[in-house]
């Protein structure tokens, strides 16, 4: 019973990820434009969550503190370094 | 043991209490691998940042002349399917302990299927690189193309090493059986493999689909 549940968990993740992949590919190939762009970003974020939840089994329920701190700290570093690079160089580009 | 075994010792899929000491041993080894994975994520993040800063200069040839949407869809499909089969391998390990020979065979079947799908991904990716170079888009052409080749190439290199790692695990299991060492290695490899698919979501959305819009 429990085994089947774990199997179905994976399968559900796979189906959700497939749907969230097909939507942006179809929209970019057919519609294009601003709608496709917004759908693309939305689907990417949703699929990221699906992967973390169903494939990597990440949940912060019952996790130890250092796990949460590890992920949050990585997020902070990425935010500062990636966001900062794009901000600074984007600003330079606009001034050129 | 005086303390009670907690169900979840580290992020990701845990072996579970039925695995006894192997489950306890996994705590430090898998958590340590997550630390590495997060530092790798920062590396990928920086490659993305460099790519993003060159995107306004993507021209001549740009995405529209160089990208093959159908091939990117194939690569996405291969990698997603391989993520599922690698998950099936870990479920076989967790639920059936993969110590009986029938169960070990099942585990090896899923691992080899994952390798096959991964090779399909690499084949399409390398063909795309060759086609891109032939269409006037080698990495030396522009800053945008250097960033593109580095980012996608770095991911391809990760996939290649993941495949080699998987083959080493299969060989090790055939020689020594599924002991604690290979169990812990499988858990870490699975985290690595799922992680690569997560990075690919960002690559196909941001680099390929975003470029073609």
- Window A:15-74, CB contacts with B under 8 Å: 17-18, 21, 24-25, 28-29, 32-33, 36-37, 40-41, 43-44, 47-48, 51-52, 55-58, 62-63, 66-67, 70-71, 73-74
- Window B:22-41, CB contacts with A under 8 Å: 31, 34-35, 38-39, 41
Q: How confident is the model at residue B75 (pLDDT cuts 50, 70, 90)?
A: very high
Distance from CA of B11 to the nearest CA of A (A): 6
Report d(CA B23, CA B153) in Å as an integer: 35
**How many CA atoms lie less than 13 Å away from A92 in the CB half-sphere?**
8
What is the DSSP secondary-structure string of B75-118?
HHHHHHHHHHHHHHHHHHHHHHTT-SHHHHHHHHHHHHHHHHHH
Neighbours of B76 (CB within 10 A): 26
Report d(CA B99, CA B102) in Å as an integer: 8
Contact B106, B88 (CB under 8 A): no
Mean pLDDT of chain A: 88
Reported as a single tens digit per residue, the pLDDT across B54-70 is: 988 888 888 889 999 99
Distance from CA of A61 to the nearest CA of B (A): 9
B139 — alpha (psi -120 to 50), left (phi > 0) or beta?
Answer: alpha
**How many CA atoms lie less than 13 Å away from B170 in the CB half-sphere?**
19
Mean pLDDT on A40-55 = 92
Reported as a single tens digit per residue, the pLDDT across B31-44 is: 899 999 999 999 99
Give the SS3 label for residue B142: coil
Cross-chain CB nearest to A29 (options B69, B201, B204) = B69
- H or E element, residue A82: none
Whether A79 has a pLDDT exceeding 80, the answer reads yes
User: What tokens does A30 get?
Assistant: 């057919």
Distance from CA of A5 to the nearest CA of B (A): 11
Length of chain A: 96
Whether B17 has a pLDDT exceeding 60, the answer reads yes
Q: Which domains does chain B have, with CATH numbers?
A: 20-50+69-212 (1.20.120.80)
Whether B130 has a pLDDT exceeding 50, the answer reads yes
Higher pLDDT, A73 or A66: A73
Q: Chain A within 8 Å of B88 (Cβ-Cβ)?
A: yes
Q: How confident is the model at residue A70 (pLDDT cuts 50, 70, 90)?
A: confident
Reported as a single tens digit per residue, the pLDDT across A9-26 is: 899 999 999 999 999 999
- Domain range summary for chain A, segments of one domain joined by +: 1-58, 61-96
Contact B197, A51 (CB under 8 A): yes
Mean pLDDT on B75-90 = 95
Q: Which residue, B12, B198, B73, B64, is CA-closest to A44?
A: B198
Whether B97 has a pLDDT exceeding 80, the answer reads no
Contact B192, B37 (CB under 8 A): yes
Reported as a single tens digit per residue, the pLDDT across B164-205 is: 999 999 999 999 888 888 999 999 999 999 999 999 999 999
Tell if the CB–CB gap between A78 and B87 is shorter than 8 Å: no
Percent of chain B whose pLDDT exceeds 90? 68
Report d(CA B77, CA B51) in Å as an integer: 24
> In A, which residues are within 8 Å of B210 by CB distance?
37, 40
Q: ipTM score here? A: 0.89
Report d(CA A23, CA B200) in Å as an integer: 16
Contact A35, B174 (CB under 8 A): no
């Amino acid at each position: 019973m429990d085994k089947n549940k774990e199997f179905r968990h994976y399968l559900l993740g796979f189906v959700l990820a497939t749907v969230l992949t097909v939507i942006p590919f179809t929209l970019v190939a057919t519609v294009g434009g601003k709608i496709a762009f917004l759908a693309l970003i939305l689907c990417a974020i949703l699929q990221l969550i699906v992967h973390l939840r169903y494939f990597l089994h990440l949940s912060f329920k019952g996790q130890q503190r250092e796990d949460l701190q590890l992920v949050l700290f990585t997020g902070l570093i990425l935010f500062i370094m990636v966001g900062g690079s794009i901000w600074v160089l984007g600003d330079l580009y606009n001034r050129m | 043991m005086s303390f009670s075994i907690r169900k979840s010792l580290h992020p990701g899929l845990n072996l579970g209490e039925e695995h006894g000491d192997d489950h306890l041993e996994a705590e430090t080894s898998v958590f340590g691998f997550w630390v590495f994975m997060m530092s790798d994520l920062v590396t990928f993040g920086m490659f993305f940042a460099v790519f993003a800063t060159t995107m306004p200069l993507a021209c001549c040839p740009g995405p529209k002349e160089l990208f093959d949407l159908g091939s990117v869809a194939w690569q996405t499909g291969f990698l997603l399917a391989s993520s599922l089969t690698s998950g099936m391998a870990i479920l076989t390990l967790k639920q059936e302990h993969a110590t009986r020979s029938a169960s070990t065979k099942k585990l090896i079947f899923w691992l080899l299927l994952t390798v096959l799908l991964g090779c399909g991904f690499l084949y399409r990716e390398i063909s795309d690189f060759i086609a891109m170079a032939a269409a006037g888009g080698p990495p030396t052409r522009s800053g945008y193309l250097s960033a593109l080749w580095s980012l996608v190439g770095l991911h391809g290199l990760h996939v290649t090493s993941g495949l080699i790692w998987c083959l080493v695990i299969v060989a090790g299991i055939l020689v020594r059986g599924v002991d604690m060492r290979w169990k812990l290695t499988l858990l870490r490899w699975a985290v690595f493999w799922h992680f690569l698919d997560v990075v690919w979501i960002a690559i196909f959305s941001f680099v390929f689909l975003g470029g073609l819009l």
